[in-house]
Chain A
Amino acid sequence: MEYILGIFELSAINLVAVLGLSILTGFTGLFSFGHAGFMAIGAYLSAILTKNFHLPFVVGILAAGLAAGLVSLLLGRLTLKLKGDYFCIATMGFGEAVRLVFSNWTYVNGARGMASIPKYDDLSLAIPFVTALVAVVVSWNLVNSRQGRNMVAVREEELAAQMAGIDVLRSKMTALVVSAILAGIAGALMANFIGFIAPKTFNMTKSTELTIIVIFGGLGSISGSVVGAFILTALPEVFRAFSDWRLVFYGLAVIVIMVGRPQGLLGGMELTPSGFRKSMAARRARAEFARLKAEGGGAA
């Protein structure tokens, strides 16, 4: 039972980080392979505050979000003018740089990592779930706000969005900062749930994992990120019986989904009554267009 609970705890923690990345990648169209860096900042800050300064978990979480958000503001100023792939490479560099800073910082034990960080117990085990719930609500409201629609416009056609008068740079910055705050908070949750963190927990594999979950769940879908986070966190555990082979199965499962459904599980749609109606309407529109085209002269 405790084992199952643990998987759900980890899923909820991953979900917080994934939601952030979903806003950045799924809704704004910016790929990042450095979000583990923001998680690391949050995790270490919360670990230091709760272990060395004996502050409550909540303080650690808030400080983690704040610090990651501030760092992302700086990163954004430097890198958001870069186009597509270049931004992605820059975030990769950022993630690795953060990891190396913690690896060489003796105050946090360098590469050996920090142990015996105060852990959630009994009642406080609810913290990751509550945080995840809040994160879902916040993300949902954000992507359905004017800000969120601006982000989608930037993703779809940056120049056209600019022509319409949308402040493209600001939209990107908002997405980056929100995603970094959520990643930082996820890092804090992780530190206080596991009780041990090391720099290598936050390597590029972690960043990649987050991106995989977002794409697997479906770009441009909050519900997709939720479903993706739970499935892909649980999947390696399901395959645990195969020991060394389990990550191979994990990889294969991801490949199968991506080949079968390139848009991800729930790409561009939401698991709500209105979201469902919308996606059905879009499907009908596509079918209608295909029919017109088959009859000839549809698009001409």
Chain B
Amino acid sequence: MSMLEVRDLHVSYGGIRALKGVSLRVEEGEIVTIIGANGAGKSTLLNAISGFLKPGNGEVTFKGGKIGMKASKIVKAGICHVPEGRLIFANLSVEDNLRLGAYLRNDRKKIAADLERVYELFPRLRERMKQLSGTLSGGEQQMLAMGRALMTDGDLVLLDEPSLGLAPLLVKTVFDIIVEFRGLGKTILLVEQNAYKALRIADRAYVLEQGHIVKTGVAREIAEDPAIKAAYLGAKSTPVT
């Protein structure tokens, strides 16, 4: 049984069809990445899975059960979404933001333990735990958003462009942490424009083009595919990082 299974998902914005029948599955413990150009429908796909958008057609099952349409219920079921643009509560301290991640939980001891774990994973956040999170740098805000996702204690983490707009050094940190997430027992569905990095850490990959999945396979093989190389990896130049 797959952890997440998406079958024939259709999403439209008014008359514009953003997803035209997307199917994919994510197995427990995997890192799966979705790569594709801007406007291919990557974020739309994540938003539809986490209930921020209402799909026109199709089915999403999580741990074998159908999940409803309601975002708050989906969070409760164990899917946590780190949206693009790392939305945090700017007027709250770093620690309060993290605690908000545990909004639906009642297990005080485990919450405290998870908070400690987040601080171990992101020492930078511990240094700044009392600071208003709106005053954090972009990279720190991304770490905060990811830390908050851990606090929800969900099993599946949806990451939307976590490296967007970050300095190269921080990009590396973010990807290292995604790998550590897996070590903590999380399953990850990652949407990235940095296809090269994403394919390096992922087990499997889906290539999304104009609302269709055009290719799928083991990440390493996709990275070697000449067509993919030309389209997303800049085949002629060697990657800088």
B72 x A289 contact (CB < 8 A) = no
A159 x B70 contact (CB < 8 A) = no
Nearest CB of B to A94, in Å: 24
> Given A157-B87, A159-B52, A163-B80, is A168 in contact with B132 using a C-beta cutoff of 8 Å?
no
Q: Is A5 an interface residue (CB 8 A)?
A: no
Contact residues of A between 215 and 250, Cβ < 8 Å to B: none
The contact of A153 among B71, B100, B132, B137, by CB within 8 Å, is B100
Q: Is A124 an interface residue (CB 8 A)?
A: no
Nearest CB of A to B218, in Å: 31
Point out which of A159, A164, A285, A300 has the most chain B C-beta atoms below 10 A from its C-beta. A164
Nearest CB of B to A243, in Å: 45
Contact residues of A between 133 and 179, Cβ < 8 Å to B: 153, 156-157, 159-160, 162-168
Residue of B nearest to A171 (CB): B72
Per-residue interface assignment for chain B, residues 80 to 116, with 1 indicating a CB less than 8 Å from any chain A CB and 0 otherwise: 1111000111111000000011011000000000000
In the assembly, what is the distance between CA of A269 and CA of B130, in Å?
20
Residue of A nearest to B154 (CB): A165
Nearest CB of A to B83, in Å: 6
In the assembly, what is the distance between CA of A68 and CA of B79, in Å?
38
The contact of B135 among A164, A165, A299, by CB within 8 Å, is A299
Q: Is B152 an interface residue (CB 8 A)?
A: yes
B137 x A299 contact (CB < 8 A) = yes
Interfacial chain B residues near A156, Cβ < 8 Å: 89-92
A164 x B103 contact (CB < 8 A) = yes
Interfacial chain B residues near A157, Cβ < 8 Å: 87-90
Nearest CB of A to B112, in Å: 18
Point out which of A160, A162, A165 has the most chain B C-beta atoms below 10 A from its C-beta. A165
Q: Is chain B's binding surface mostly helix, strand, loop or mixed? A: loop
Contact residues of B between 56 and 79, Cβ < 8 Å to A: 70-72, 75-76
A160 x B131 contact (CB < 8 A) = no
Q: Is B136 an interface residue (CB 8 A)?
A: yes
In the assembly, what is the distance between CA of A148 and CA of B92, in Å?
16
In the assembly, what is the distance between CA of A166 and CA of B101, in Å?
10
The contact of B83 among A163, A289, A299, by CB within 8 Å, is A163
In the assembly, what is the distance between CA of A124 and CA of B213, in Å?
71
In the assembly, what is the distance between CA of A289 and CA of B83, in Å?
27
B residues bordering A, Cβ < 8 Å? 50, 52, 70-72, 75-76, 80-83, 87-92, 100-101, 103-104, 131-132, 135-137, 148-149, 152
Given contacts A163-B87, A165-B76, 9 further A-B contacts (CB under 8 A): A156-B92, A160-B87, A165-B75, A165-B103, A165-B152, A166-B72, A166-B103, A167-B72, A168-B72
Q: List 16 A-B contacts (CB under 8 A).
A: A153-B100, A156-B89, A156-B90, A156-B92, A157-B89, A159-B83, A162-B75, A163-B75, A163-B81, A164-B100, A164-B148, A165-B72, A165-B75, A166-B72, A166-B103, A300-B137
The 5 closest A-B CB pairs, nearest first, are A165-B75, A165-B104, A160-B87, A167-B72, A164-B103
